[in-house]
Amino acid sequence: MTRYALPLLLLSCGGAFAADAAHTITQSGRMFRPGEVTISRGEALTFTNKDTFIHQIYVNGLFDSEEKSPGENLTESFTQSGTFDVRCHIHPKMKLVVRVK
Ligand SMILES: [Cu+2]
């Protein structure tokens, strides 16, 4: 077994570790990338601001974040099943659809 075999094995079995997966959403060009994501109940999304300006995101009824500067991260857990729209106070066209199973 080469030293590379174990990481490759873990990657190829990623589905088995879904409950522990880190779900990263980047904010870039006034967009969420990807623009939609499906996660399991109790999992979290980490939002990384890769733009050169502030974002301030929220989901009605779930959370309402502080302003996040370029390079900052925000992690939010989703504890209810359903479909949620993540929006940005500063850029109303930004939208991420989160499906929580
Ligand atoms: Cu924004």
Query: What is the CA(10)–ligand 1 centre distance, in A?
Result: 34
CA 85–ligand 1 middle distance (angstroms): 14
- 22's CB contacts (< 8 A; 6+ apart) are 44, 46
Expressed in angstroms and rounded, the spacing between residue 3 Cα and the centre of ligand 1 is 42
In a 13 Å sphere around the CA of 21, the CA atoms on its Cβ side amount to 17
What's domain 18-100's architecture? Answer: Sandwich (2.60)
Strand order in the sheet with 36-39: 36-39, 95-100, 82-88, 57-59, 63-64
Are 49 and 32 within 8 A, CB to CB?
no
pLDDT-based confidence at residue 28 (cuts at 50, 70, 90):
very high
In terms of Cα–Cα distance, which of 10, 3, 42 is closest to 23?
42
* DSSP category for residue 67: P
pLDDT category at 22 given cuts 50, 70, 90 is confident
- Mind listing the pLDDT tens digit for each residue in 43-89? 999 999 999 999 999 999 999 999 999 999 999 999 999 999 999 99
